[in-house]
Amino acid sequence: MAVLRSVVRGVGAYLPKRVMTNDDLAKIVDTTDEWIVERSGIRSRHIAADGELTSDLGIAAARQALVRAGIDPVEIDLVVCATATPDKTFPATAVRIQAALGVTKGAAFDVQAVCSGFVYAMTVADNFLKTGQFKRAIVVGAETFSRILDWTDRGTCVLFGDGAGAVVLEAQPHHGTREDRGIIATRIRSDGRYEDMLYVDGGPGSTKTVGHLRMNGREVFRHAVQKISGVIEETLVETGYAADEIDLYVPHQANARILDGIAKKLGVDPKKIMMTLEKHGNTSAASIPLALNQAFEEHRLKEGSLVLMEAMGGGFTWGAVLVRW
Ligand code: UT7
- pLDDT per residue, tens digit, the chain (325 aa), is 689 999 999 999 999 999 999 999 999 999 999 999 999 999 999 999 999 999 999 999 999 999 999 999 999 999 999 999 999 999 999 999 999 999 999 999 999 999 999 999 999 999 999 999 999 999 999 999 999 999 999 999 999 999 999 999 999 999 988 889 999 999 999 999 999 999 999 999 999 999 999 999 999 999 999 999 999 999 999 999 999 999 999 999 999 999 999 999 999 999 999 999 999 999 999 999 999 999 999 999 999 999 999 999 999 999 999 999 9
| Ramachandran sector of residue 92 (left: φ over 0; alpha: ψ -120 to 50; beta: rest) | beta
**CATH number of the 3-174 domain:** 3.40.47.10
The reply to whether 3-174 and 182-324 are identical in fold is yes
Q: CA 181 → CA 3, 62, 191, 251, 319, distances in Å?
A: 11, 22, 32, 20, 20
224 touches ligand 1 (CB under 6 Å) = yes
CA 29, CA 220: separation in Å to the nearest integer? 22
- Give the angle 121-123-129 at the CA atoms, nearest 5°: 100
Atom of ligand 1 nearest to the CA of 155: 44
Query: Ligand 1, atom 11: nearest CA belongs to which residue?
Result: 255
Return the residue whose CA atom lies nearest to atom 30 of ligand 1: 155
Question: End-to-end distance of the chain based on CA atoms, in angstroms?
Answer: 21
Helices 287-297 and 117-130: angle between axes, nearest 10 degrees = 80
CATH of domain 182-324: 3.40.47.10
Rounded to whole angstroms, the Cα distance separating 96 from 154 reads 33
Q: What are phi and psi of 221, to 5 degrees?
A: -55, -50
Atom of ligand 1 nearest to the CA of 25: 48
Nearest CA to ligand 1 atom 42: 31
Give kind and range of the element (H or E) at residue 82: strand 78-82
pLDDT of residue 176: 86
CA of 153 to the centre of ligand 1 (A): 11
Residue 178, pLDDT score: 84
Which of 33, 118, 218 should be mutated for ligand 1, with most atoms under 8 A from CB?
A: 218
For the chain, the domains span: 3-174, 182-324
What is the reported pTM?
A: 0.97
Q: Rounded distance, CA 186 to CA 319, Å?
A: 8
Active site residues: 115, 252, 282
Phi, psi (deg, nearest 5) at residue 288: -65, -50
Half-sphere exposure of 169 (CA within 13 A, CB side): 32
Q: How close is the Cα of 158 to the center of ligand 1, in Å?
A: 10
Work out which ligand 1 atom sits closest to the CA atom of 313: 2
